[in-house]
A = this chain, B = another copy of it.
Amino acid sequence: MSVDLATPCLVVDLDVLDGNISLMARLAAEHGLALRPHAKTHKSPAIARRQLDAGAVGLTVATVSEAEVFAAAGCTDLFLAYPVYASTEVGARLRQLLERARVRVRVGVDSIESARALAAQVGACDGRLSVLVEVDSGQHRTGVPPEDAGELAAEAAHAGLDVAGVFTFPGHSYAPEGRQRAADDEQRALATAAAALRGAGVEPEVVSGGSTPSAALVHDGTLTELRPGVYVFGDAQQWELGSITPDRIALTCLATVVSHAGGRVVLDSGSKALGADRAPWATGHGRLLDHPGARIVQLSEHHAVVDWTDDALPEIGSRVRVVPNHVCNAVNAHDTLVVTQNGALVDRWPVAARGANT
């Protein structure tokens, strides 16, 4: 790139990004699934707009403040895929959000306590607020057992909420060799949960699942909606899981070689630029797009120490493209994405929902 960008900074390849957006839109369309991408990955209205223009039915968000940012940017159909607890403060923000013209919000629930708080603080809001019951499909994080979904749905409906269906996040798809198993678990859990809702007299209009690693594998007819997030950019985790090939990685962190201490390469892209995620199965703290053999073997806030496998070390002062392990946390550390096309800087997009985590 001819511009002397301050490093570390995040750089998006526009053509690769658009290719990823199209590919997932096509996959969803081919299987008759609604696509509702998770916007926590990019936190950027400019990217949300491209996803919606490519056919996404709405957005998934993780927090009320993300919902606020994307509603302000014109997105009117939002699913808050999280067991939100409606405190007085959260309730007031949700009511304010729903006062916007045409905004419809779905919220996750996995306990009667949260359902009651939501009913008391917000209510059905003339049909503009509805809930999906979260079920645990094997990640063991949040969600009720699938067979208990009907009871919670009935209780939530009794509390005065509009129950639209069920959802899960098959987070255990983030494991080597775990993708197909997680996709199978996801379909089975959602099928059980949907049947439990019907048994309780609630028709599940929405049966929502999907993660980037499992998105291509859930097509037995159970799901009505997919919610992948990371697919827009890809990252080192997806590369190592085999759910994305390196040529489809659309976001890298441009970093400067600052030292050759100890005969290794030290970059200025530390954990404050890349995020500190490292899954137990990851081969390092991040990878280099143009040097597949290299690994970040030590990561601190402003240093990435790289074991370099190619013959010659890149010169001090030269620049390399780092692939973060987990792109969602990398993006949340930056205020701007530098957008490039054919190697030229064509735009800068604000990460408008960076830090919008309440």
The residues of A with any CB-CB pair to B shorter than 8 Å are 4-9, 40, 62-63, 65, 82-85, 87-90, 93, 110-111, 113-114, 117, 136, 140-144, 171, 256-262, 266, 268, 270-273, 275-278, 298, 300-303, 305, 315-317, 326, 328-329, 332-335, 354-355, 357-358
Contact = CB atoms under 8 A, between A and B. Distances in A.
Given A6-B90, A141-B266, A333 B335 contact: no
A271 B329 contact: yes
B302 A259 contact: no
Given A40-B301, A113-B316, A140-B262, 15 more contacts: A6-B93, A8-B357, A62-B302, A83-B266, A84-B258, A113-B315, A140-B298, A141-B298, A141-B300, A171-B300, A271-B275, A301-B328, A302-B357, A334-B355, A335-B355
Contacts of A140: 261-262, 298, 305
Given A62-B302, A262-B136, A85 B277 contact: no
Number of copies of this kind of chain in the complex: 2
Contacts of A334: 355
Contacts of A305: 140-141
A258 B4 contact: no
A114 B326 CA distance: 31
Contacts of A143: 261
A344 to B, nearest CB: 18
B329 A85 contact: no
A184 to B, nearest CB: 21
Contact of A261 (B63, B90, B141, B256): B141
A248 to B, nearest CB: 22
A114 B4 CA distance: 17
7 contacts: A62-B301, A110-B261, A141-B261, A171-B300, A271-B277, A335-B355, A354-B355
A7 B276 contact: no
A295 to B, nearest CB: 15
Contacts of A275: 271, 276
